[in-house]
A and B are shown apart, each in its own frame.
Chain A
Amino acid sequence: MTDLVPIAVALPIVASVVALLAGLVRSRSGWYVALVGSVAQVALTAELARRVVADGAIRYVVGNFSVPYGIELVIDGLSATMIVLVAVTALGVLAYARRAGPRSNPFYGAYLLLVGGLTGMSITGDLFNLYVFLEITGLATYVLVGSEEGGRSAVAALRYLLVGTVGASLFLLGIGYAYVATGTLNMADLAAVIGEDVGYTATLIRASFAFVVVGLFVKVAVFPLHTWQPEAYASAPDSVSALISALVSTVSAYALIRVIYTVFTVDFLEANPLAADLLAAAAAVSVVAGSVLAVAQSEVKRMLAYSSVAQFGLVVAAASLANETAMIGAFVHLVGHAMMKGSLFLAAGVVATATGARTVDEYDGLGERLPVGAGALAVLALAMVGVPPTLGFVGKWYIALGAVETGSWALLAVIVSSTLLTLAYFARLIERIFFREYAAPAGETGVAPDDADVPGDADVVADGNGLPADGNGVSTDDGDAPLREDVSFGMYAVVVVAALLAVTLGAAVFEYAQFVQPTVTRLLS
């Protein structure tokens, strides 16, 4: 029954084809196909994770060949975490996308393709196969970013495509170096050959490490290789921003950790302390620069995007420590960040759909106008800041404790003060939401509560930006600040549930840590 393993990759891909073909019969049926596919994927990945809990890691070689000649798929605690995260997030975002769109069938084809690509990246045990899935993921992501109306998203998508391809190509070059040095591509086999025959200080291995890491840094969006990311997140449709901000960089960071520790192993970092130092330095720079840039943004989605640069700095910092506690922390933070950041993008989407507000300035007085959305957004923001006992705090605790254990004081300082850096940009938002009065933009009428204007002119809402394709722009004038009617229950539900989870899931982390502990121990041994 281990045949379930390749099915985890195949299922979303097949569903993607079905979604596309369903468009022949009936347009706008893609969402339903995606829903069925995602539910099945959640069930499948949950079952796989259950088996990992029960029996330990699952190894499967496609086509019944033997390692290292065939391609191996591995599901251990960490990859199980990723595939479940991917499936659940995809399902959650679907709940949002039903009303918010985009709604075309090819869109959901690409959506499911992304799920398949990310799942493949998570479970593959072969370095070149990782590249193939990286490119599938990349293609799906570029396309999804470009799925928004208007030229802006196309420009962002093209930029992303060019930079992302360079990243993937450098990754491929890194694989080339490793292959030239060892003659094999299976991760476990590579680790063995590097350790026994080639040696950790060989130039080829160092070069391979450098290219693989830089290539994945591009995909993770570590400063200064993040340049594609803010515009891509900001210009994509809200559903897509949420999905890719939650998953693409996350799985890339997972791949980074996987490659560093499974292929190159801890011994490589020990033999090349400079490599670990450079990782840590890149992480620290990313945390600080990402936060500073986030503070400088006026567009909320761009701010959230830069926030991701900073948060992935924390993950990379944890990865550079080669310490069990920190590594668990990296995964807690990966999952936590995925949930919180994805939901923050969705919350920003709810706000934009309901009020048209997309810049920080336009968030003035949002607490009055949209209490539920604003409240969820604030809770998620605080969780992101790391206010205890939220998920954001727990992840940070593990990472920081790992830094203390290894005596990395400089990194510890960066990690704990990232709280303040994160606060700097989120407090600004929260202050505007709750502690400023809403001021209707100049030249608008019919928005002040006591302004007895002609009802019906509220079509002129506070919206200077493009709304999603289906935004019909009609809202009823209930004499209040302009509220669009097209925020569905599903859109609210996802955001609110995520906010609640962000607060409460921290309590479950210790259990999770027990679950991944053996995997992490093996990874770092």
Chain B
Amino acid sequence: MTDVSSLRPLATVLVSAVAIAPILASRGRPNLRESWTMLAALATFGLSASMVPGVLAGDTYVTDFGTFLPGVESGSVAFALQADALGLLFALLASALWVITSLYSIGYMRGLDEDSQTRYFAAFAGSVSAAVGVALADNLVVLFVFYELLTVATYPLVTHDQTDEARAAGRKYLAYTFGGGVAVLAGTLIVVWLTGTADFTAGGIAALAESDPAMARLAFTLLVTGFGVKAALMPMHSWLPDAMVAPTPVSGLLHAVAVVKSGVFGIARVVLDVFGPETVSDLGMGLPLAVVAAFTIVVASIIALRQDNLKRRLAFSTVSQLSYIVLGLALLEPRALAGGLLHIPAHAFMKLTLFFCAGAIHVETHTDDISEMAGIGKRMPGTMIAFGIASLGMAGIPLVAGFVSKWYLLIGSVQAGGVVFAGALLVSGVLNVAYFWPIVYQAFFESEDAVGSKPLIENPFGGRDAPVPDGGRNADDEPAGATDGVADPDEGEYAVDRNPSDHVVEHSASKRAESPDAAHADEDAESDRAVPDDADHNGPYEPEHYDHVADDEDAPEHHHAGPPAGGWERRALSSETTWFMLGPILTAATGAVVLGIVPDRVAFLRLVEIVVAGATGVTL
């Protein structure tokens, strides 16, 4: 390992932070604004990718600003960034997926005509910057700095909708994550006190192994608890499902990848580079952590079964899957470590795909509840195929990313003698199938007419029996004389009402009866509009054209939950949604497959091997 002094880690962190300024400045011009986002995303990705060859060759890129805070005695804490294998793994992942998510965000935010899009993109850039900062932090203090900044930057995204529900979720989010931050701070202070330093050292800080075990245990517990909040370890997970009120790209990149994995990443740093697997084992802290992780894996899977809201189900799935990684770290076995670390990118690709699909369904059909998705495969074939592939991966079926990581995990847990843990993994795999399969199954193999035969779903169907479904939100905007069921007593049943994120909901019953062809034509028009046209600054994306309610009088099928009265129409893959959304979905899904088929060709596995070799001395 050689340290190479370089400004590249700094640049990687700063690019997206700096991009906030032009994004805010071009608030009136959406196309320009999104160009900045794309530029920043590509630059961040390019910078982190550029460091891969060097890191694979054994170098570490370091940007050092000198002393930031005092340590104990003569020790001190530097403000330094480093791109080592573990850090680069996370940075590369976050920046790569940000590129995809940025594209998707454009389609999603414009498709829903969301408010405050500038704030959204600015906060998104800030979040990515902070996440990359977490990845490239050189020591625990710098990691903490970015960890807290990440909280601050993501808060506006959680609260984006500005509804009571969103604000409540935002408050909960802040309380939980800052609470975790306090624990991390306390743990960091103790580590600095015990060792005089906070620098990450492969295999652990030596002085920690010789310090007072009680104090070391306290520090470990505080750190893991603090990071465990964002890693959604039970019982500190409950902010995550609530945070699903955020726009779906946020849920996808941040609450399945960047934010939650900053927590997992923190635990990885603590286990591998602060304490080191050996010391953790000596302190006897691995087993309790593994137990918590295994518990979370199983319980979260069971809870996921009972969620009808698709995003909430995905959230609990995330809670469960994150603990796979933690379990891998806690078992302290080289192969389990490798499996856990490899699951970071694997889960990221798969979960991102799933969230993107949920978002696409939401934008196109305003459907959020699984019970309303029967037969939706006709309407959105490409989306649901991608969903199916990612689900398979989640369950650990071979040829998709999830398999490789789970394989390592399973072997590792058997090697560690933790048959119980292996059992938990297997049970969870089965549960994964149980909560994903019905979605895929009903999407393709059931029609929206089939009543109640779906397994494991308890909520009543909405939309099917309702004579005239109506969002009920914008009743005032209904054309005068529209003889629709505004006062429909059943309307409280609709997902729209339970999910205020659908705040632009409009439906005209009289229009809904129009021929599918007409609707189809409108849909095409919609698709065309979604392509940004830089030459056309008076195009539909200028703010004054955002009067969604007025524009979309003719596109009725977008605005109520569940299938339209005539059932889902059948659409071709190319017209089911805009390419802004389908493209990212397919890219992410492809990524998941590539990781599953040729893991050794992708940088992630090799980075993981370097990390494991550094931490344990074992070459996989």
Contacts and interface: CB of A to CB of B under 8 A. Distances in A.
A400 B174 contact: no
Interface residues of B, number: 34
Contact of B68 (A423, A431, A507): A507
Contacts of B149: 387-388
A416 B156 contact: no
Interface in A387-438: 387-389, 393-394, 397-398, 400-401, 404-405, 412-413, 416-417, 419-420, 423, 427, 431, 434-437
Nearest to A430: B155
Contact of B181 (A328, A419, A431): A419
Interface stretch (B182-190, B300-308, B504-512, B524-532): B182-190
B190 A404 contact: yes
Describe B's contact surface by its main secondary structure: helix
Interface stretch (B159-167, B400-408, B431-439): B159-167
A434 B170 CA distance: 12
Contact of A401 (B67, B159, B166, B189): B189
A377 to B, nearest CB: 14
A510 interface: yes
Interface in B166-184: 166-167, 170-171, 174-175, 178-179, 181-182
Given A416-B182, A416-B186, A388 B144 contact: yes
Given A325-B70, A387-B152, A404-B190, A423 B174 contact: yes
Nearest to B162: A435
A382 interface: yes
Given A387-B149, A404-B190, A431 B159 contact: yes
Contact of A388 (B145, B171, B179, B192): B145
Contacts of A393: 145, 148
Contact of A382 (B76, B152, B166): B152
A412 to B, nearest CB: 7
Query: Max chain A CB contacts within 10 Å: which of B69, B119, B145, B175?
Result: B69
Given A388-B149, A435-B159, A510-B70, A401 B192 contact: yes
Interface in B109-142: 119, 141
B419 interface: no
Contact of A387 (B79, B119, B148): B148
A67 interface: no
A437 B503 CA distance: 14
Contacts of B148: 387-388, 393
A397 B181 CA distance: 13
A510 B67 contact: yes
A437 B162 contact: yes
A431 B189 contact: no
Contacts of B79: 389, 507
Contacts of B68: 389, 506-507, 510
A382 B148 CA distance: 11
B573 interface: no
A387 B184 CA distance: 13
A401 B174 contact: no
A393 B179 CA distance: 15
Interface string B52-93: 000000000000010111101000100100000000000000
Given A388-B145, A389-B145, A401-B193, A434 B178 contact: no
B70 A398 contact: yes
Contacts of A398: 69-70
Query: Max chain A CB contacts within 10 Å: which of B70, B149, B179, B193?
Result: B70
Contact of A416 (B166, B174, B185): B185
Interface of B: 65, 67-70, 72, 76, 79, 119, 141, 144-145, 148-149, 152, 156, 159, 162, 166-167, 170-171, 174-175, 178-179, 181-182, 185-186, 189-190, 192-193
Q: Which 10 A-B pairs have the closest CB atoms?
A: A388-B145, A404-B193, A435-B159, A435-B162, A510-B67, A404-B189, A416-B182, A416-B186, A389-B145, A387-B148
25 contacts: A325-B70, A387-B148, A388-B149, A389-B68, A389-B145, A393-B148, A394-B69, A397-B185, A398-B70, A401-B192, A404-B190, A404-B193, A416-B186, A419-B181, A419-B182, A420-B175, A423-B178, A427-B174, A431-B171, A435-B156, A435-B159, A435-B166, A435-B170, A510-B67, A510-B68
Interface of A: 325, 328, 382, 385, 387-389, 393-394, 397-398, 400-401, 404-405, 412-413, 416-417, 419-420, 423, 427, 431, 434-437, 506-507, 509-510, 513
Given A388-B141, A435-B166, A436-B167, 10 more contacts: A325-B70, A400-B185, A401-B69, A416-B182, A419-B185, A420-B182, A427-B171, A434-B159, A437-B162, A510-B67
